[in-house]
Amino acid sequence: MSPYDRKEAQVRQLLEGPHPAVPAGLAAAAAARGRRLLRRRRALRRFGWAVLWAAAVAFAVWAALTHPWAAPPSRVSPPLEGW
């Protein structure tokens, strides 16, 4: 008998046997936990969008004030002609 067949036989034996009793408040506890997880996930998503929006606004303000697309002024003066 291969290890896979042995595991399959054990699983079938467990499924055919008596099922354990389910605690009384299990469904209510699972629903409450699910609501907490959804609320936390929604809050994290909103926080992430707020941070992304704030970063975009900060970048736009910085770009408007510093003009990073403009060439920096030349440090070498052009040659003088006609003296």
Please write the tens of the pLDDT for every residue from 19-78: 888 899 999 999 999 999 999 999 999 999 999 999 999 999 999 999 888 888 778 877
Q: What is the CA radius of gyration of the chain?
A: 34
1 secondary structure, DSSP code: -
What whole-number distance in Å separates Cα of residue 5 and Cα of residue 55?
57
Query: For residue 63, what are its two tokens?
Result: 């770009």
pLDDT at 46: 98
Query: For residue 70, what are its two tokens?
Result: 């403009």
The helix or strand, by DSSP H or E, that contains position 27, with its residue range, turns out to be helix 26-66
